[in-house]
């Protein structure tokens, strides 16, 4: 239930004082970082006025850090610090039109929060991914269209699209410098991350699953969606298309001590409408080849889209398919502005100047593509875009109604283990 905000606590309207106000929902690492980016924008007055969290200690530490760094731009008295599953509503109720809500909770909650922002006509910055399964992917596509119809400005945390080097690479590829793209390869190979031990005592099942969100498909879409969406989005951006289907493999070699739902290696082959292919490989195993990179192969040459992570980009173009110096056609400048900050400058400018900026549609498509690949590996079936659009396995159908007393969407079994996908066993259901 929303608690009505007394008028004296309601912030003023942008139209009256030109100050854009922010509400942060999910005060963890990325949410706090997004506020730092927002408050560092240079185009006019901006301040943080409300915060929402499930864990009070996370809100308090985020607030303390932000207040220390931006003493005059953080105006969040206790009356505008909200804790609970409905905290997002109370925080957004503090905003007016032309203010911005920041959604940096695990992705499972994204559609719930985005729907409320659209209803209230509030602009949004939301972290990737935007959805976790078939039904929420469809819902996000619909919400994206609604937000566009309403003229809202929406930024999605796929920040590589705001990296100037990658923007230049995109222009060069689209203008045909390596010919038509016939294949893409992408890798995220490194040691284990975000693993989960059995739930300790002292925390309830629901909050444990939210806290360990990477481990649970209902909360995050799993490591596949949360980690790999960047690679997939970068490749599809360069290709200028979204794939139509996927087949995939994967398994759990060394997950004995861990109770999560993820595989520790994935290989997915995505197929585009014109028959060209995106090969994606992900692994969370120590002492193996490590690589975090994406490549595009065209009829005239190849591109390094990224290598060594997201930022700075190390984009290159080569003639032929062997990336040696003698074949180098172009390399990006090593000096690049921060894409996180650049995205925020653009979002805030678009609000102040009423220019169109809405990334929700492509963010929803990228999230759908991630779900398609994960589902292909988890089910062992070929998964098409239509399979996703018609899928009725919603992992957390009650998510909009959760309270601190609710049961968790997933029940642990023996030894505190959770259901793990078993390819070939459940048709097109993952577990």
Ligand X SMILES: NC(=O)c1ccc[n+]([C@@H]2O[C@H](COP(=O)([O-])OP(=O)(O)OC[C@H]3O[C@@H](n4cnc5c(N)ncnc54)[C@H](O)[C@@H]3O)[C@@H](O)[C@H]2O)c1
Q: How far is it, in rounded angstroms, from Cα 248 to Cα 371? A: 12
Report how far residue 140's alpha carbon sits from residue 219's, in angstroms, rounded to the nearest whole number: 15
Distance CA 130, CA 141 (A): 10
Q: For residues 114 and 145, give the distance between their C-alpha atoms in angstroms, rounded to a whole number.
A: 12
Identity of the residue, 219 or 315, whose beta carbon is nearer to ligand X in the bound complex: 219
Residue 195 C-beta: closest distance to ligand X, Å:
15
Return the number of the residue (113 or 170) whose C-beta is nearest ligand X: 113
| CB nearer ligand X, residue 187 or residue 230 | 230
The nearer residue to ligand X, 227 or 242, going by C-beta atoms, is 227
Beta carbon of residue 412, minimum distance to ligand X (angstroms, whole number):
19
CB of 285 to ligand X, least distance (A): 21
Helix (H) or strand (E) holding 209: helix 205-211
Q: Which of 76, 77, 120, 73 lies closest to 98, judged by CA?
A: 120
Cβ-based nearer residue to ligand X, 158 or 317: 158
CB 375 within 8 A of CB 250: no
Given strand 316-319, what is the order of strands in its sheet? 328-331, 316-319, 301-307, 291-298, 181-190, 277-284, 265-271, 245-251, 383-384
CA distance 57 to 248: 40
The nearest distance, CB 50 to ligand X, in angstroms, is 12
Residue 2 CB, nearest approach to ligand X (Å): 14
From the CB of 226, what's the least distance to ligand X, in Å? 5
Q: In whole angstroms, how close is the CB of 194 to ligand X at the nearest point?
A: 9
| Cβ-Cβ contacts under 8 Å for 236 (sequence gap 6 or more) | 242, 243, 278, 365, 366, 369
Measured from the CB of residue 293, what is the shortest distance to ligand X in angstroms? 17
User: Which C-beta is closer to ligand X: that of 218 or that of 258?
Assistant: 218
Q: Minimum Å distance from CB 105 to ligand X?
A: 4
What is d(CA 138, CA 53) in angstroms, rounded to the nearest whole number? 26
Cα separations in angstroms, 326 against 2, 88, 177, 315, 330: 64, 55, 17, 16, 11
| Shortest distance (Å) from residue 90 CB to ligand X | 11
Q: Please give the C-alpha separations between residue 291 and each of 12, 190, 225, 231, 301, in angstroms, as whole numbers.
A: 49, 7, 18, 12, 21
- Cβ nearer to ligand X, comparing 229 with 376: 229
**Closer residue to ligand X in complex, CB, 221/380:** 221
Q: Which is nearer to ligand X, 30 or 190 (CB)?
A: 30
CB nearer to ligand X: pick between 25 and 302: 25
Closest among 318, 369, 345, 33 to 172, alpha carbons compared: 318
- 346 CB contacts (<8 Å, ≥6 apart)? 155, 162, 357
Contact 133/110 with Cβ under 8 angstroms? no
Q: Which residues make up the interface to ligand X (CB under 6 A)?
A: 25-31, 52-55, 58, 85, 87-88, 104-107, 109, 127-128, 157, 159, 210, 226
Q: Which residue is nearest to ligand X (CB)?
A: 28
CB burial readout 120-156, b (16+ within 10 A) else e: eebbbbbbbbbbbbbbbbbbbbebbeebeeeebbbbb
């Amino acid at each position: 239930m929303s608690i009505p905000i007394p008028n004296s606590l309601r912030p003023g309207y942008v139209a009256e004082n030109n100050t854009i106000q922010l509400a942060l929902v999910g005060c963890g690492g990325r949410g706090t970082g997004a506020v730092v980016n927002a408050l560092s924008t240079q185009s006019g007055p901006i301040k943080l006025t409300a915060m929402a969290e499930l864990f009070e200690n996370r809100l308090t530490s985020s607030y303390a850090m932000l207040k220390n760094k931006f003493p005059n731009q953080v105006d969040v008295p206790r009356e505008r610090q909200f804790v609970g599953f409905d905290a997002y509503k109370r925080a957004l109720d503090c905003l007016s039109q032309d203010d911005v809500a920041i959604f940096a909770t695990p992705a499972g909650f994204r559609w719930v929060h985005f729907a409320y922002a659209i209803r209230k006509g509030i602009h949004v910055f939301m972290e990737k991914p935007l959805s976790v399964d078939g039904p929420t992917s469809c819902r996000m596509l619909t919400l994206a269209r609604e937000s566009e119809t309403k003229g809202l400005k929406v930024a999605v945390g796929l920040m590589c699209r705001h990296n100037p080097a990658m923007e230049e690479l995109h222009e060069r590829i689209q203008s045909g410098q390596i010919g038509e793209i016939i294949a893409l390869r992408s890798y995220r190979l490194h040691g284990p991350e975000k693993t989960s031990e059995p739930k300790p005592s002292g925390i309830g099942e629901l909050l444990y699953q939210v806290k360990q969100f990477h481990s649970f498909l209902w909360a995050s879409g799993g490591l596949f969606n949360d980690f790999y969406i960047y690679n997939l989005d970068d490749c599809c951006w360069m290709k200028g298309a979204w794939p139509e289907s996927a087949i995939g493999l994967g398994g759990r070699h060394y997950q004995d001590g861990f109770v999560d739902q993820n595989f520790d290696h994935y290989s997915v082959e995505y197929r585009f409408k014109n028959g060209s292919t995106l090969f994606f490989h992900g692994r969370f195993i120590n002492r193996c080849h490590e690589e975090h990179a994406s490549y595009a192969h065209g009829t005239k040459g190849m591109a390094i889209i990224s290598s060594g992570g997201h930022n700075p980009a190390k984009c290159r173009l080569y003639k032929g398919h062997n990336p040696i110096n003698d074949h180098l056609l172009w390399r990006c400048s090593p000096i690049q502005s921060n894409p996180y900050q650049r995205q925020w400058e653009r979002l805030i400018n678009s609000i102040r100047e009423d220019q169109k900026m809405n990334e929700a549609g492509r963010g929803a498509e990228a999230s759908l593509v991630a779900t398609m690949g994960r589902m292909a590996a988890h089910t062992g079936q070929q998964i098409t875009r239509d399979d996703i659009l018609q899928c009725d396995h919603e992992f957390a159908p009650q998510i909009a109604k959760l309270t601190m007393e609710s049961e968790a969407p997933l029940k642990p079994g023996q030894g505190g283990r959770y259901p793990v996908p078993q390819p070939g066993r459940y048709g097109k259901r993952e577990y």
